[in-house]
Structures are given as structure tokens and as C-alpha cells.
Amino acid sequence: MPLNIDLQQILLHWMNLAILVGGLYFILFKPVKQFIEKREAHYRERDEQAQAKLAEAERIKSEYQAKLDGADEEIRQSRAKVQLAVQQTAEEQLNQAKAQAQQILTHARAEAEHDREEILHSSQRELRRLAAEATKKLALQSDPFDQFLDLAEEGGKNEDR
């Protein structure tokens, strides 16, 4: 053989190489490939679970947001009802106060009229009594003209003071 090439040696090296590659394939490559596939499947499954949980969280978030919006509307309506009730109560109390004030005013007027009439009757009685006393004094004295003049002089002195 020229160049000192032995075909048998080459074939044996090729066969060793094929056995080495086959052995390495079954011993290293296939288990590593299976491990990588399992790992990819595991992470794919976790990703799918995460996506499902994220979708569920978004759905729950939208439900809660809808409930919050409903609660806000409910609160606004409740506030409106309460404000209306407070306004009505205030108006009722104001009307009651006005009615009570009118009643007090009417009562005060009636009482004032009664007091006026009582004072008027009292003054009339006093005037009658004074007139009766004056008549008695005039009847007891001899000259009514002189008495009149004396009373007039006394009245004039009292007014000067």
C-alpha cells in the first residue's frame, strides 16, 4: 500500500467511531434530550398555568371593578335619598317652627288684647271710683265752686313741679 494506509485499520477506527457515537448517543444525548424535553414540557405547563391564572385574575378584577362601579352608583343613590330625606325633614321642622311661631304670636296677641281690656276696665273703675269720691266730697262741702277752685289750684301747683 502506498502511503502506508491500512484499510483494515481505517475500518476499525470507523467502527470504533460508530460504536462511540452510538454509545454516546444512547448514554448521553438521548437522556439529555429527554431531560430537556421534560424540562420544556414542565415550563410550558407552568406557562400555561400562569396564563390561565392571569386570565382568571383579569376576569376576577373585571368582576370586582363592575361590583365597585355598582357600589359607587348605589352609594350615590343612597346619598341622594338621604339628602332628600334630610331636606324634607328640615322643611317639615321649618314648617312646624313657623306654625308654632304663628301660634305663639296669636296667643301673645290674644293675651295682649285681654290685658288691654283688663287695663281699660281697671282704669274705668278707677275713674268711676274717683268720680264717686269727688262727688261725695262735693256733696259734703258747702260750696262746690270753692272746692273746684281749690282742686284746680292744687292741680296747677302739681303740674309746675
Q: Is the pLDDT of residue 150 over 60?
A: yes
Dist. CA 27–CA 19, nearest whole Å: 12
In a 13 Å sphere around the CA of 12, the CA atoms on its Cβ side amount to: 5
Dist. CA 11–CA 1, nearest whole Å: 15
CA distances from 61 to 51, 66, 77 (A): 15, 9, 24
Residue 26: band (very low, low, confident or very high) from pLDDT cuts 50, 70, 90: confident
Contact between 154 and 148 (Cβ < 8 Å): no
Residue 136: band (very low, low, confident or very high) from pLDDT cuts 50, 70, 90: confident
Q: Is the pLDDT of residue 49 over 60?
A: yes
Q: How far apart are the first and last CA of the chain?
A: 177
- Per residue in 91-133, pLDDT (tens digit) is 999 999 999 999 999 999 999 999 999 999 999 998 888 888 8
